[in-house]
């Protein structure tokens, strides 16, 4: 297995946020992590990256134990997290943002990024701060690709974006995935999850309460009702 998270526990001070979380992502897979606000999704990603280190349990990537490594070493294993805040430089142009992230020997060139995200090419001389939310997200993903990730982790990439932009980003993620990048996606938009993912996990109060493949998940309205509050009555998937 590519990424394995085994029985991890994580805390903010005394607050025991992750309580025995286990999940795995195989090479080439796209896996979704779902759950209500406050469930611990972002914290799980931060634990994988060593930003909120796991106090117990074990995280392995490509056979290497990364549980206790500092974040820069984890990033050096070609794991790239795009946080909710996206982390682009607002004062730099689109192209400067991309070039800054360029990594010697990366599989992705500037031209590749512009091919996947034509909007970024159109906006290449604009400042990061002048972009729409959707374009900022595309830039964040483009920057991450310039770093040549083996595992790309995204935290709610389409939150707050207009449906037409969401569709665009979904297509771009499909393309990125089909070119061999393994993806772990935290997302609350069920339609996005079921369009993209091979498998799903649901977190609730710091515990994994469900896991299933995409077909099983799509049909299980009960689980959506119970843990996500969006059964068939409220949202068709
Ligand atoms: N920096 C922090 N300090 C203290 N508590 C935090 C911090 N960040 C998140 N939390 C708490 O940890 C829990 C999980 O948060 P988070 O992982 O951000 O959830 P999610 O991403 O699923 O919405 C929540 O109860 C949240 O209030
Ligand atoms: Mg979050």
- Ligand 1 residue neighbourhood (C-beta within 6 Å): 12, 15, 17, 35, 37-43
Position 224 confidence tier, pLDDT thresholds 50, 70, 90: confident
DSSP assignment letter at 224: I
Given a cut of 60, whether residue 232 has pLDDT beyond it is no
Token pair of 219 as six digits: 């049909």
Question: Three-state DSSP class for 137?
Answer: helix
CATH of domain 1-78+184-237: 3.40.50.300
Question: Three-state DSSP class for 74?
Answer: helix
Is residue 5 within 8 A of residue 211, CB to CB? The reply is no
Spacing, Cα 118 to ligand 2 middle (Å): 29
Which residues make Cβ contacts (< 8 Å) with residue 175, sequence separation at least 6?
116
Position 230 confidence tier, pLDDT thresholds 50, 70, 90: low
User: 32 — phi, psi (to 5°)?
Assistant: -105, 140
Higher pLDDT, 230 or 117: 117
- Tell me which of 18-32, 48-62, 202-216, 217-231 is least confident: 217-231
Mean pLDDT of 143-170: 95
Q: Report d(CA 186, CA 48) in Å as an integer.
A: 13
Mean pLDDT of 119-140: 96
Mean pLDDT of 124-152: 95
Q: Order of strands across the sheet with 79-82?
A: 79-82, 151-155, 182-186, 30-34, 199-204, 207-213
Residue nearest atom 16 in ligand 1 by C-alpha distance: 40
Position 164 confidence tier, pLDDT thresholds 50, 70, 90: very high
Give this prediction's pTM: 0.94
Given a cut of 80, whether residue 137 has pLDDT beyond it is yes
Mean pLDDT of 48-58: 97
Residue nearest atom 2 in ligand 1 by C-alpha distance: 12
Mean pLDDT of 171-187: 96
Q: Report d(CA 27, CA 17) in Å as an integer.
A: 28
Spacing, Cα 40 to ligand 2 middle (Å): 7
pLDDT recorded at residue 235: 47
Token pair of 98 as six digits: 């991309």
Summary mean pLDDT of the chain: 93
Q: Report d(CA 63, CA 126) in Å as an integer.
A: 41
Q: Report d(CA 125, CA 128) in Å as an integer.
A: 9
Given a cut of 70, whether residue 25 has pLDDT beyond it is yes
pLDDT recorded at residue 21: 98
Substitution candidate for ligand 1 out of 8, 10, 12 with most atoms within 8 A of CB = 12
Q: Which ligand is nearest to the CA of 156?
A: 2
């Amino acid at each position: 297995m590519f990424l394995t998270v085994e029985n991890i526990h994580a805390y903010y001070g005394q607050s025991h946020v992750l309580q025995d979380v286990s999940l795995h992502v195989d090479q080439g897979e796209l896996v979704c992590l779902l759950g209500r606000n406050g469930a611990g999704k972002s914290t799980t990603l931060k634990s994988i990256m060593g930003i909120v280190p796991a106090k117990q349990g074990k995280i392995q990537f490509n056979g290497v134990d990364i549980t206790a490594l500092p974040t820069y070493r984890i990033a050096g294993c070609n794991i790239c997290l795009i946080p909710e805040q996206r982390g682009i430089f607002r004062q730099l142009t689109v192209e400067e943002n991309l070039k800054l992230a360029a990594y010697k020997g990366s599989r992705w060139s500037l031209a590749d990024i512009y091919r996947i995200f034509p909007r970024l090419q159109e906006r290449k001389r604009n400042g990061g701060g002048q972009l729409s939310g959707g374009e900022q997200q595309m830039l964040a993903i483009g920057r991450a690709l310039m770093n040549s990730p083996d595992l790309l982790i995204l935290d709610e990439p389409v939150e707050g974006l207009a449906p037409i932009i969401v569709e665009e980003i979904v297509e771009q993620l499909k393309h990125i995935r089909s070119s061999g990048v393994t993806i772990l996606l935290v997302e609350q938009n069920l339609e996005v999850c079921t369009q993209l993912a091979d498998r799903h996990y649901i977190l609730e109060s710091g515990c994994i309460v469900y896991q299933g493949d995409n077909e099983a998940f799509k049909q299980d309205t009960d689980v959506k009702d119970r843990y996500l509050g969006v059964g068939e009555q409220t949202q068709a998937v």
